[in-house]
Amino acid sequence: MAWFTKAPEAPLRVPAEAIWCICKKCKAYIPRDEYIAAHKVCPHCGYNGRLSARERIAQLADEGSFREIAADVIAHDPLKFEDASGSYVAKVTAAREKTKIGESVVVGHATLDSIPVVLGAMDFAFMGGSLGSGTGERILQAAEAARKARCPLILCTASGGARMQEGIISLMQMAKTCAAIQRLRDEGLLYISVMTDPTTGGVSASYAMVGDLNIAEPKTLIGFAGRRVIETTIKQKLPPEFQTSEYLLEHGFLDKIVARKDLKAFLAKTIRLLTAAK
């Protein structure tokens, strides 16, 4: 084939998503490597992107120290639930394949700046971080592990609320998790709740807000019902900052707002101040 009739070779192209991340708030393009190194915090506007459960654990736990527990605890389908979009079982299966975790929370033993802790992190990508029977059981086992090890429990929440496909079984997890945490409190052990965006519904109404220390990341959405539901019910317009971590701190519902880059150091310092940890 003559050179002037030969089809040109397609240039090698690297997909843009392999190089850049786009901030969901300010729409700035951020080099992916920089964004990941900054724990998914936008350098332009400070927006906190969502971390997966594994990413959160990697941020807080000392390298190589995390030992997962309750990994065999998974969701059940007591109602044999189906709707127009498919069965609950199919949705849970899809969530597992997408996130590579078995439930909406991952828990385990770890060290944080050499301090033994039991650490849990929720994953919003798993069915909106919803609280199901498996989630509640994993948190209960985490609390029991902390009680037996005589060490602090740290839970990082990210949830849209209770998993309604399990009906009353899901709502019962609110009481179940709070009872497990109360057993820690009865024995003088520390529980720290770290609320990340979003922490809403039945999770905000249970274990997320009963910490000995309740902290949150900046601009985190924290609340029970949604803004539109509340405004429709009370026939009033809510302030723009309503249900943000800053609003809750101002009104006494939070103890501290901590930037993501400072979170590990803050937790280590706090645990040492409140316990005998060295």
Residues 118 and 251 in one domain: yes
Burial class (CB in 10 A: 0-12, 13-18, 19+), 70: buried
Look at the chain and report how many structural domains it folds into. 2
Express each pLDDT in 190-235 by its tens digit.
999 999 999 999 999 999 999 999 999 999 999 999 999 999 999 9
Residues 241 and 256 in one domain: yes
Residues 235 and 251 in one domain: yes
| Residue 7 resides in a domain | no
Residues 207 and 248 in one domain: yes
Tokens of 143: 């609390």
Residues 42 and 99 in one domain: no
| Predicted local distance difference test score (pLDDT) of residue 254 | 98
pTM attached to this predicted model: 0.91
Residues 156 and 32 in one domain: no
Cα(138)–Cα(25) distance, integer angstroms = 33
Rg (CA), the chain: 21
| Predicted local distance difference test score (pLDDT) of residue 276 | 78
| Predicted local distance difference test score (pLDDT) of residue 278 | 57
Residues 143 and 225 in one domain: yes
Cα(91)–Cα(93) distance, integer angstroms = 5
> If you search the block for the tokens 């240039």, which residue do you land on?
11
Residues 23 and 135 in one domain: no
Note whether 97 and 129 are within 8 A (CB).
no
| Residue 229 resides in a domain | yes
Question: Which portions of the chain are predicted below pLDDT 70?
Answer: 1-17, 277-278
| Residue 148 resides in a domain | yes
One-letter identity of residue 24:
K
- Encode 100-119: b = buried (16+ Cβ within 10 Å), e = exposed: ebbbbbbbbbbbbbebbbbb
Please give the residue range of the domain that contains residue 203. Answer: 50-274
| Predicted local distance difference test score (pLDDT) of residue 3 | 56
Cα(152)–Cα(165) distance, integer angstroms = 32
Residues 257 and 132 in one domain: yes
Express each pLDDT in 107-116 by its tens digit.
999 999 999 9
